Structure 1
């Protein structure tokens, strides 16, 4: 049996608007073609978008509920909860025939009739006009609907937080074609990312979301920014943590060295007898937020050089003799 819109969104017919929205967002995260590993992700995404477009609108939802409650007037509950033959088998210039053979027509005098007037049915043309291209349109002017806002996430190098950048991204956006049918639209955009953006902050691109229906205004596209992280550098709020490799003698003698950091190349002074994993704080060298910059923490990683020559091995031997009382496992 084909799912109706409620089943497509995994909610009961009694679900509140908030419950419908929550379920839609959960499913959208699961089936978005950019991130989903499901084989039918694109088809699922189209189905839940179409379902949400109807159920998120109180008036459209009421009309859809009426159709579900009166399947005999729509040729039975067919695809997406509508009568599959209710609009494909026309019974004359001003009518159509349902799957049960019953004729339904509009007499263009303001009366909607079932079976030649056996039963009155008000608002019929409004329903078909509202659902637009899916039913071949209606005699009355169709209602315009604004496109849904879309959301995407991009990951950029941490250095972008300090300098800003323009990134070219390719996205798959759920939209509608000229006939009002859902489809995946692919677009490439140049996104200007200002410096000092917080992790998870969004950039709003007006009119770049889902296309409007029947000439309605396009939705907006929200791009969430995340920064590339690994074991050697990561972000916590406005603070940045970055690992710096140093030689054993630099750690012991406390030398000044130049190091590459997300904030650029910086000269730092290593304290004498520095230990592996020790953190050096560089004040206000973290992400430069507008309300105040964070700090940059350099995590010292002492790297022991390999001994590849006799001279180098002799140097290690001399080192061992100089520290013969040192017990690393004491």
Structure 2
């Protein structure tokens, strides 16, 4: 995926004021509008200009986009940082339109946008009221919290424009109930926590996308959990019962005799809870004791002499 420098596309500086961005956008939109433009590749350029303006006109998205920094260049291969946009709140709809022609770059940063929420009655101007825009944010939680669930206080950064047009980031704290068994990428809806509605209309909603903080033992994929379990060579060769961590606590895992490095064992139902609970997969990692004493060296030398073992036998076998 290519990085898009929205400032370069519009031809404005990174500290450009909103009114300057709007003025440049209008000029470029007229220049490249497919119905009237005679420029080469006008339609694609028009789409690029539209996309750049959708981000830079919106204080939330502009502030989030600016977090990426200025070290990226237009067209450079790009992957969003793992923690990009974490705990950052931004609107997810624009002006009542539902556009679908934006690039993969846009979608990777801001996700799919909600459709126009419409008018929900009321007594606003002309007898109409409109709902506020939805907001979205990414939060990261501990894997244990996803397993157990519970209430958490989270702090979100809400960008706003001051009187001079500068973007100010103001924090706000919300109490959120994390359901047990939530998975990475799942969204939690907080009704009424988006933008206020106009003319007495209802407020928009806030959607929190769940991410998991790195864990020292476990990796999650959907509801399944993976753990690398170190075992001694004799435990792998002879078999053993080994205490094994799970999200619910330690359990005894039976290691079969002649187990191999990388072998995967399954603990059914020991992953994240849900309608169908996930499993925990235990990947065996054979750890050799160091030959750091005369006794240890003697045992290794004895094994070398007495065990008919060639670790590279498969490499020399005739086809």
Q: Report the TM-score when normalising by structure 1.
A: 0.57
Whether 1:327 aligns to 2:305 is no
Q: 2:67 aligns with which of 15, 36, 46?
A: 36
RMSD: 4.2
Partner of 1:309: 293
Cα distance, 1:326 vs structure 2: 1.1
SS of 2:64 mapped into structure 1 = coil
Cα distance, 1:31 vs structure 2: 3.8
Cα distance, 1:297 vs structure 2: 0.8
- When residues 34 and 171 of structure 1 are mapped into structure 2, their CA distance, relative to the original with a 3 A threshold, is farther
Cα distance, 1:14 vs structure 2: 8.1
- When residues 36 and 181 of structure 1 are mapped into structure 2, their CA distance, relative to the original with a 3 A threshold, is closer
- The gaps in structure 1 that reach 5 residues or longer are 40-47, 59-139
CA contact (8 A) 2:247 2:270 kept: no
- When residues 279 and 153 of structure 1 are mapped into structure 2, their CA distance, relative to the original with a 3 A threshold, is same
SS of 2:143 mapped into structure 1 = coil
Q: How does 1:58-207 map to 2 (within 5 A)?
A: 146-174=131-159, 184-207=169-192
Cα distance, 1:229 vs structure 2: 4.7
- The gaps in structure 2 that reach 5 residues or longer are 1-11, 13-19, 36-46, 71-89, 99-124, 314-319
Cα distance, 1:269 vs structure 2: 0.3
Distance 2:261 2:187 in 1: 37
Partner of 2:5: none
Query: What is the CA deviation profile of residues 23-59 of structure 1, one whole-angstrom value per residue up to 9, with x for unaligned ones?
Result: 48983797453882236xxxxxxxx97xx75x4379x
SS of 2:25 mapped into structure 1 = helix
Cα distance, 1:185 vs structure 2: 3.1
CA contact (8 A) 1:175 1:210 kept: no
Q: How does 1:226-305 map to 2 (within 5 A)?
A: 226-229=211-214, 233-289=218-274, 291-305=275-289
- When residues 166 and 184 of structure 1 are mapped into structure 2, their CA distance, relative to the original with a 3 A threshold, is same
Cα distance, 1:203 vs structure 2: 1.1
- When residues 5 and 182 of structure 1 are mapped into structure 2, their CA distance, relative to the original with a 3 A threshold, is farther
Cα distance, 1:299 vs structure 2: 0.6
